[in-house]
Amino acid sequence: MQHLCAAQTILDRAQSTMGEVMETMARLSRDIHDAETRIRLALALHKEQSGEIEAAVPTEAMVLAQKVSERGLSKQSVEILTQIYEAASQPHMTANGIATAMGLAHSTVDRAIKAAALVTGPHPVTK
C-alpha cells in the first residue's frame, strides 16, 4: 500500500511539473511572437519613414490592430491584437480556440474581433 501511495505522489508531482512546463512554454511562445511582431512593425515603419522603395509591408493583421488601437477600441496592445487577428484569419479557428491558445479570456478575444469589425465596416454578402 505504501508503494502505491508513493507512486501516486510521484505521479501527482510529475503532472504538476508538466503543467508548469507547458505554461512556461506557452508564455515563451507568446513572448517570442510578440517580439517578432514588434520587430516586423518597427522595420516596416522605419523603412517607410526612410523612404526605402522596398519597404517591408506590415501584415494585414498588424494594420488592423494598429487601426483598432488608434481608435481606442481595445485596451489590448497592438501586439496582442495582431496575434488575435492573425489567428482569426486561420481556417477553422474560433474565438474560443484563440483565447485558449493565447491564454486570454474568451471575452477579450470576442471584443477584439468586434472592434476589428467596427474598423473594417460591413462586408457585402456573397454566395
Q: What is the pLDDT of residues 70-100, one digit of tens each?
A: 999 999 999 999 999 988 888 888 999 899 8
pTM score > 0.85 for this model?
Answer: no
Q: Is residue 127 part of a domain?
A: no
Q: Is residue 72 part of a domain?
A: yes
CA proximity to 83, closest of 36, 20, 28, 127 = 36
Q: Is residue 126 part of a domain?
A: no
CA proximity to 65, closest of 48, 51, 89, 81 = 81
Q: Is residue 99 part of a domain?
A: yes
Q: Is residue 9 part of a domain?
A: yes
Residue-level pLDDT at 55: 44
Q: Which residue has the cell 481595445?
A: 74
Q: Is residue 125 part of a domain?
A: no
Q: How many domains does the chain have?
A: 1
Question: CA–CA separation, 69 vs 50, rounded Å?
Answer: 24
Residue-level pLDDT at 59: 83
